[in-house]
Structure 1
Amino acid sequence: MSSTVILDNGSYDIKIGYNTTDSSQVQKVQNTICKTKDRKILISNQVYNVNDINGIIFKRPIEKGHLTSWELEKQIWDYSFTSRDVGLNIESSDSNLILSETPFTLPQLSMNTDQIIFEEYGFKSLFKNPMSSFIPWNFKENETLYEPKLNNDLNNLTNYSDFQLVIDSGFNATWIIPIIKGVPYWKSIRKFEIGGRFLSGVLREMVSFRHYNVTDETILVNNIKEKSCFVTMDYNESLKKIKQSGPNDKDHIIEYVLPDFNTTTQGYVLTPELKSKYKPQEQQILKLYDERFSIPETIFHPEIVNINNKPGLIETIIDCIYTLPEFIRPLIVSNIICIGGNFQMENYHKRILKELKVVLPVEWDVRIGKPSNPTTYGWECAQKFSENELYKNVRVSKQDYEEHGLQWTQQRFGFQL
């Protein structure tokens, strides 16, 4: 019996596994090829085996959401399918594939992907969609993510799978995707240009200007962002507290120990427990002040970093909502799910909820759910979809591809405006 492989081909990392795998065992594979200072070429997760992370150069096959370089991507997929580091041992010729694709991917690039999947890898079948479109298939789990309501009977929630608004905040961008009856409503999909890459870039510039030169420290800056940054519920209030409390403001100011490549290669946040063991002459400290919340604040107010011609995230979400049919709008805003790596930042989804309640009609019941692991939640929902009998009817088999050609897959999976 053939198996089904689910592959969430993200810009930063790939989430991959068999649909029979427990969701906690999903493998994450960096979607990149690196070159070290001593000119060694590393594929994907091999970068974790390097002690000296200084000056590593990254080359990614996905640029601005589009898969532009199959020369790189094929090497990364081969590593993901066969490497002992990943441990999946995927036999593509005996497997079906469920693949994520960025909304509005250029048709020629999308057809290149289909060609590689069927002609190079020889998968038995393909189903391709934005990862957000799988969220409604896990509607019972979605309902548990919201704040509990009285008389919330999970057995009578089938209609909740009909209307979803998915906010997917990833490495390259943040997508706002309304899903109606399991299908993306293409006319209302909006792309917000700020994602994890942009935030890391701003942090790099700010730390280099205020503290140390970290221009070439891509991995270090990303680690600092993931371990230190958070979204404040009130930006002006947080700035005021830092100004009033100064260095004693423990809620906003932290000390980050930079890697010395002896005791640590990644760096870490200096907690009070670690501080008791800390010896000043042994470690180099980076003290972070308003950078921790000012950089994520650019998501809501891009003008902070002099981007004056772009709306913030809330304005983009509102634009998406008000292009939907009028009777659907209250239903959509009561079923908002947040996925993507940026939602690991503290308070991100709570801040969106707070801002939306201010600008949307007061009688609308705005609800936002954030899964415990927003990075792999899309994969989990695709797993639910693969267990449904409908999946067998909508995928394109290799035989269909050979009979009808590239245009057939594009007709089935391409966006239709």
Structure 2
Amino acid sequence: MSRVVILDNGGGLCKAGFGGDRDPAVVVPNCLGRPTSSKKWLVADQLLSPDADVTSVSLRRPFDRGYLINPDLQKEIWDRILRSLLHADPSSSTLLLVEPLFNPSSIQRATDELVFEDFGFQSLFVGDSPSLVHLYEASRRPPHGLAARAQCSLVVDSGFSFTHAAPVVQNFTLNYGVRRMDLGGKALTNYLKELVSYRSINVMDETLLIDDAKEKLCFVSLDVDHDLQLARKSGKDNPYKCTYVLPDGITHTKGFVKDMDEAQRFLSYSDGGSTMSEMQAEDVLVDTNKAVERKKIDMNKSEFNLTNERFLVPEMLFCPADLGMNQAGLAECIVRAVHACHPYLHPVLFESIILTGGSTLFPRFAERLERELRPLVCGDYRVKIACQEDPIKGVWRGGSLLASSPDFESMCITKSEYEEMGSTRCRRRFFH
């Protein structure tokens, strides 16, 4: 059997490696970037180089709103990954490619042309993230458990472009039950850019830096009203205030958190950390301090402070309507996905929710989701949410496991079948 290249081709990150390995060999941005100080475009891993200047970098992405729109750009990124990073020979390899759910047929044809005509892969298997996550997690669960015996789970995949709640039964994603939110890591980063630019310093061109700040500093609130009151406090009484330092191009070329201990103080605060009367007593002092701070704003400063932005940004996933978006929250999205399935599946789906995707990495994500879900679910059902040990690599690990199965080769379409029957007929094999 030929060597299997696993490629989880996400809108934000490409995860690539070889079948049978536990982890991908490569996790790189799925984009090109050009710093203002250079005329050269940096491809994928080059953006992660220690000496790469990511200040005001211009980005070009092959994906838009979760779907491949620029195959030529994707070809350049894949070429860098396959030949320079993996040192793979496509002509003697099989490709296991992870595509977005409900990929339009025109994009499927363009992808197949890339795989067979531009790179010349021997054969291809196309998978979707929910079924691969389910496969990997089912292999790790106790065989006597309810979810493992039922071979059924609800995969919540919150990635770069959007969030899906997808029921999976017997390793097949039930497409009719999938519910989608047009919110993901990209929207959260853009929202944080707007908040910081409005309140502090213009960072609308600093996508990579704000992305880094979001990943290191944002968290999910368990009680938004309470946390908003706390965030109004001044100085050390505000457990959420922290500082992110922008690169100066001389002493440091990457952004960083000024004081990580300060940034993590919020973890020691419970829901009822302060009483309302204590907060109200400080309102006058807070307003006075804000007036003073406004006078001290330095438009040339190379750092900015975050307070309530830290939990208001992930809040988009749970209450998008509060921010003017015509979307249901994540909990309601999950309930709709479950109710689209047969009633016999409802209890086991609610008891086997699996979180995957980079946007589920925010602290307290699972706890908040369970609190939101519990009132919406029948009292006779248990709600159990499992977090993957590494939500970014979870889909890839499922692909690696599938590629190691003895039946995998028979599940692929070969280059000769593609040339004989064309993309559309070949794709029927994958039930997409």
Fold shared per TM-score above 0.5: yes
Shift in CA distance, 158/344, structure 1 to aligned 2, threshold 3 Å: closer
In structure 2, the partner of 1:149 is: none
Identity %: 30
Question: Which one of the candidate residues 98, 110, 113 is aligned to 1:112?
Answer: 110
Q: Does residue 1:395 correspond to 2:415, yes or no? A: no
Shift in CA distance, 251/358, structure 1 to aligned 2, threshold 3 Å: farther
In structure 1, the partner of 2:30 is: 31
Q: Does residue 1:168 correspond to 2:186, yes or no? A: no
Q: Does the 8 Å CA contact 1:139/1:161 hold for their aligned counterparts?
A: no
Matches within 5 A, 1:129-140: 129-140=127-138
Mean CA deviation greater in 335-344 or 129-138: 129-138
In structure 2, the partner of 1:20 is: 20
3-state SS of paired residue (1:128): strand
1:206 and 1:258 map into 2 onto residues whose CA distance is 16
3-state SS of paired residue (2:164): strand
In structure 2, the partner of 1:76 is: 77
Residue 157 of structure 1 and its aligned partner are, at CA, apart by 6.3
Residue 159 of structure 1 and its aligned partner are, at CA, apart by 4.1
In structure 2, the partner of 1:198 is: 187
In structure 2, the partner of 1:383 is: 400
In structure 2, the partner of 1:408 is: 425
Q: Does the 8 Å CA contact 1:34/1:41 hold for their aligned counterparts?
A: yes
Question: Which one of the candidate residues 166, 175, 178 is aligned to 1:186?
Answer: 175
1:260 and 1:357 map into 2 onto residues whose CA distance is 47
Residue 51 of structure 1 and its aligned partner are, at CA, apart by 4.1
In structure 2, the partner of 1:227 is: 216
1:262 and 1:381 map into 2 onto residues whose CA distance is 42
Residue 35 of structure 1 and its aligned partner are, at CA, apart by 2.4
Q: Does the 8 Å CA contact 1:34/1:56 hold for their aligned counterparts?
A: yes
Per-residue CA deviation, residues 100-150 of structure 1 (Å, 9 max, x unaligned), is 01111111110221122122222121110212211232244553xxxxxxx
In structure 2, the partner of 1:147 is: none
3-state SS of paired residue (2:379): coil
Matches within 5 A, 1:195-274: 195-243=184-232, 245-249=233-237, 251-271=239-259
Residue 337 of structure 1 and its aligned partner are, at CA, apart by 0.8
Q: Does the 8 Å CA contact 1:142/1:337 hold for their aligned counterparts?
A: no
1:26 and 1:89 map into 2 onto residues whose CA distance is 11
1:331 and 1:382 map into 2 onto residues whose CA distance is 24
Q: Does residue 1:368 correspond to 2:385, yes or no? A: yes
In structure 2, the partner of 1:359 is: 376
3-state SS of paired residue (2:318): coil
Q: Does the 8 Å CA contact 1:140/1:157 hold for their aligned counterparts?
A: no
For structure 2, the 5+ residue unaligned runs are: 264-297
2:147 and 2:373 map into 1 onto residues whose CA distance is 25
Q: Does the 8 Å CA contact 1:136/1:164 hold for their aligned counterparts?
A: yes
Shift in CA distance, 217/333, structure 1 to aligned 2, threshold 3 Å: same
Q: Which amino acid aligns with 1:262?
A: I
In structure 1, the partner of 2:295 is: none
Q: Does the 8 Å CA contact 2:22/2:400 hold for their aligned counterparts?
A: no
The CA RMSD over aligned residues, in Å, is 2.3
State TM-score, norm by structure 2: 0.86
Per-residue CA deviation, residues 208-245 of structure 1 (Å, 9 max, x unaligned), is 010001111111111111111111111112112223x4
In structure 2, the partner of 1:297 is: 315
Residue 183 of structure 1 and its aligned partner are, at CA, apart by 0.9
Shift in CA distance, 249/133, structure 1 to aligned 2, threshold 3 Å: farther
Shift in CA distance, 68/334, structure 1 to aligned 2, threshold 3 Å: same
Residue 382 of structure 1 and its aligned partner are, at CA, apart by 1.3
Aligned pairs, number = 395
Residue 301 of structure 1 and its aligned partner are, at CA, apart by 1.1
Q: Does the 8 Å CA contact 2:62/2:68 hold for their aligned counterparts?
A: yes
For structure 1, the 5+ residue unaligned runs are: 144-152, 276-280
2:246 and 2:418 map into 1 onto residues whose CA distance is 52
Shift in CA distance, 67/351, structure 1 to aligned 2, threshold 3 Å: same
Q: Does the 8 Å CA contact 2:147/2:153 hold for their aligned counterparts?
A: no
1:202 and 1:232 map into 2 onto residues whose CA distance is 17
1:158 and 1:343 map into 2 onto residues whose CA distance is 21
2:332 and 2:40 map into 1 onto residues whose CA distance is 45
1:311 and 1:394 map into 2 onto residues whose CA distance is 37
Q: Does residue 1:287 correspond to 2:299, yes or no? A: no
Q: Does the 8 Å CA contact 2:52/2:253 hold for their aligned counterparts?
A: yes
Q: Does the 8 Å CA contact 1:102/1:130 hold for their aligned counterparts?
A: yes
Q: Which amino acid aligns with 1:15?
A: K
Question: Which one of the candidate residues 324, 348, 357 is aligned to 2:341?
Answer: 324
Question: Which one of the candidate residues 76, 92, 103 is aligned to 1:94?
Answer: 92
